[in-house]
Structure 1
Amino acid sequence: MYAAVTLFVFMCLTATTYADHHQPCHPPNMTGVMAVMTLKGDVKACGAFTYDSMGKKLRFRSNDSSPFNTSLGLDLLMFFDEGIFYEIDSKNQSCVKKTLQCNLHPLDIPDDANFYSTVTTGSPSIEGEGLKVNLWTGSMPGSKGHYSMSVTMGCLPISTFYFTESTSLLFSQLDIELEIKDPDLLVVPSFCLGQPVEETPEGTLNSFLNEFM
């Protein structure tokens, strides 16, 4: 596992095929599964996500029935355009509302991302055994970190590496369907309505990614 991840990182960081005409695409609405792991192979979280591409809304819930041993139990509702998000605890009917300082997340290519290369995973010469993807890279706002995203030709995110001084994470998207199966998941739960925004300590950067770090 670690060797495969290292090889992929090397490929992403050393690709040299640039093309000025490539512009970042934006995916459609999606429902699927997201897994988050460290480069050592430790699975930090695995669960279902629902993403509203037009409304810039994301719900991620760690799956208690996941076959992986995970270290984080999360239920996050992100409103990227509004700059707020909720940490939800449905079991205890409670939530924490926070300001969102960074909109970076693994389901959309940032507008300032740099196109690196188009590669084929698997075999390009055997029908059904290869997948052509575009690689995008860029810097992480508010840190010295960088990211590398692989996206299908139809703009579906496959995986994203995030590298920071303190940690590195791999986000993988699985079983993607091009629809929002349950729109209610993107609505603020009734027990969260009227919740005040929690004060953000100085020097803290609230983001979807930081919930896993």
Structure 2
Amino acid sequence: MQGIVLISVAMCLVPSLGWAQTPQRCKSPDLFTGGITVATQDEKVYAVGKYAYDAINQRIHLGEMGTYDHKNFTYEVLMLYKEGVMYMIHRHNQTCEKVALQSKFTPLEVPLDASFMSQVVLGTLAYPEQGLVVNVWTGQMPDNSGTYMMSFTELGCLPVSGFFQPKTNGHGMRSHSYFDNVLGVKDPDAFVPPPFCQSAKLKVNRDGKRADFFSVFQ
């Protein structure tokens, strides 16, 4: 798994030729769904699943299956930033953990302070419909907690990949890959906690760990 991550990083570091102008920061759509994979550098975490993204109401839903330290897991995460809460949902036994989010909503788009790194082609532009132009950006993670390298499509500004290196040790670098993106959210109920979550009591944190988007993958 670590080899796959390193190959992906190397791909992002190879600049394409032929573009005279530096791409400008783009604005991603406010509503879309798709698939996501997550892996950590120490290979303890690998997950794949679906996600729904709503920048208007500041909501993210993740439904994932994966492995942590060679053990399988299946759960859902619902982050409601305007309410300041995050739900860890386990449908197999209908249990729900409700914790206070400890970060502000960060849009899944090119950050305002990002620096352009390179423009690459996934596939080839030698033939029609066989290549995808992607722009790579770098910068500091929110709250100066680490660094990131993210890529977005030149047309549409949809996320392709992200590499995040936190300052703390943790699991080291995390890689995110996004695929099968579809504009809009067909199922608005994806952002509604299931009925069995109504009795969940709010916790300030979980075992003393920071509760935010990145803590989902710890």
If the length of structure 2 is used for normalisation, what is the TM-score?
0.78
Residue 109 to residue 97, structure 1, CA distance change in 2 (3 Å): farther
1:115 offset after TM fit, Å? Answer: 2.7
CA contact (8 A) 1:29 1:51 kept: yes
| CA distance in 1 between partners of 2:91 and 2:72 (Å) | 19
CA RMSD, aligned part only?
3.4
Secondary structure (helix, strand or coil) at the match of 1:73 reads strand
Secondary structure (helix, strand or coil) at the match of 1:6 reads helix
Structure 1 partner of 2:6: 6
Structure 2 partner of 1:58: 60
CA contact (8 A) 2:14 2:120 kept: no
Structure 1 partner of 2:124: 123
Give the structure with the larger strand fraction. 2
CA contact (8 A) 1:119 1:132 kept: yes
Structure 1 partner of 2:89: 88
Question: Which whole-Å deviations, capped at 9, do the CAs of 1:6-47 have from their partners, x for residues lacking one?
Answer: 2442454686x9x88723523231122111123466761111
Secondary structure (helix, strand or coil) at the match of 1:162 reads strand
| CA distance in 1 between partners of 2:140 and 2:56 (Å) | 24
Question: Which whole-Å deviations, capped at 9, do the CAs of 1:92-146 have from their partners, x for residues lacking one?
Answer: 2221111112347684333333332322222232222211011122222356421
Larger displacement relative to structure 2 (195-204 or 24-33):
195-204
| CA distance in 2 between partners of 1:134 and 1:8 (Å) | 14
* Of 171, 180, 186, the match for 2:176: 171
CA contact (8 A) 1:46 1:70 kept: no
1:193 is the counterpart of 2:198 = yes
Amino acid across the alignment from 2:212: S
Amino acid across the alignment from 2:5: V
1:201 offset after TM fit, Å? Answer: 6.4
Secondary structure (helix, strand or coil) at the match of 1:108 reads coil
| CA distance in 1 between partners of 2:188 and 2:56 (Å) | 13
1:75 offset after TM fit, Å? Answer: 0.6
Q: Any unmatched runs of 5+ in structure 2?
A: none
Secondary structure (helix, strand or coil) at the match of 2:196 reads helix
1:61 offset after TM fit, Å? Answer: 0.9
1:190 offset after TM fit, Å? Answer: 2.1
1:22 is the counterpart of 2:27 = no
| CA distance in 2 between partners of 1:181 and 1:43 (Å) | 29
Residue 72 to residue 109, structure 1, CA distance change in 2 (3 Å): farther
| CA distance in 2 between partners of 1:87 and 1:111 (Å) | 30
Q: Report 1:140-155 matches (<5 A).
A: 140-142=141-143, 144-153=145-154, 154-155=156-157
| CA distance in 1 between partners of 2:216 and 2:89 (Å) | 13
| CA distance in 2 between partners of 1:114 and 1:83 (Å) | 29
Question: Which whole-Å deviations, capped at 9, do the CAs of 1:46-78 have from their partners, x for residues lacking one?
Answer: 1111112321211111248xxxx8744221001
| CA distance in 2 between partners of 1:29 and 1:103 (Å) | 18
Structure 2 partner of 1:102: 103
Residue 44 to residue 104, structure 1, CA distance change in 2 (3 Å): farther
1:157 offset after TM fit, Å? Answer: 0.7
Structure 2 partner of 1:138: 139
Residue 24 to residue 112, structure 1, CA distance change in 2 (3 Å): farther
Q: How many residues in Structure 1 have an aligned counterpart in Structure 2? A: 210
Q: Any unmatched runs of 5+ in structure 1?
A: none
